[in-house]
Amino acid sequence: MVIDENILISAGAETRRYTPSEVIFCEGDIPTYYYQIIKGEIKLNNYNEEGKEFIQNILSDGESCGESILFIEKPYPMNAEVITECSVLRLHKSVFFNLLNQNPELYMEVNSFLSERLYYKFIMMQSLSSQNPSIRLRGLMDYLKSSQKDLSPYSFLVPLTRQQMASLTGLCVETAIRTIKHMERDKIVRIENRKILY
DNA sequence: TCATTAAAGTTAT
DNA sequence: ATAACTTTAATGA
C-alpha cells in the first residue's frame, strides 16, 4: 500500500471504477491526478510505430500509477490501460501535494514506492540489454520472484500470461513460448497445466 | 537466431 | 459463443 486509503479518502479522493481495456490516461496527456489502485490490475504501456505493445509495468492492489510524472512538468510518456475490473482512488494533483506537505511520512511512502519502481527499471534494463531471450525472461522472473520468501526452485508461480511476459521483455509471443519451452527442457522452469513454475 | 504470418487448438467470459 | 491466449510450423531478415 503506497498511502493509506482512508487518508486519501478523507483528503477528498474519489473512487472510480474501470472495466478491462479502459484507458485511465494516455501518452501525451498532462498529469492532473494521483491514482492509487484499491483493487484490480493496470498496465503502463507504449505502442511502437508498428502497433506492437511494450508493457512498462503491471500494477495492482495498493499500488499507484503514473505518480512519478506528477513530480515533473511533463506529459505522460505512456498509457495506463486497465487489465482487470478495477476500483481506483483519484486525488487531484494540488490536493495530493498539499497532503504530502502536511505529512512527511507520506512523502517517504511515496518515495519508497517510487524507488521500488526505479529498482525494477534498473533490473529490467540490465536483462533487456541482452539479445538473448532466455536472459530477458529470466531477468523478469528473477525480479518477480525476489518479492517472495521461498526462493527454492519451482516455488514461484509466474502470475503472467505468456503474452504479457513477451510484452514486458520486448519479445514476440512465439519467441517467449519457444524460449520458455526450452527453459523447461533445461530444468530452469517447470510447466504444470500451462502455468509456469520458477 | 528471432520476427512475422498463418492456422488451429485451448481457456476464460 | 466469442474473444483472448497458447501452440506449432513455415518463411524471411
pLDDT of residue A76: 98
The CA distance from A9 to A90, in Å, is 9
Q: Which regions in chain A score pLDDT beneath 50?
A: none
Q: Which of A21, A77, A86 is nearest to A45 (CA)?
A: A77
Give the pLDDT confidence score for residue A17 in this predicted structure.
Answer: 94
Cell reading at A38: 484499491
Q: Which residue is nearest to nucleotide C4 (CA to C1')?
A: A163
Q: Give the per-residue pLDDT at A50.
A: 83
Neighbours of A166 (CB within 10 A): 26
Alpha helices, DSSP H, located in chain A: 5-10, 67-70, 93-102, 104-128, 133-145, 162-169, 173-185
Footprint of strand C on the protein (CB under 7 A): A 21, 161-163, 173-174, 177-178, 180-181, 191, 194
pLDDT (0 to 100) of residue A157 = 94
Nucleotide nearest to A196 (CA to C1'): C6
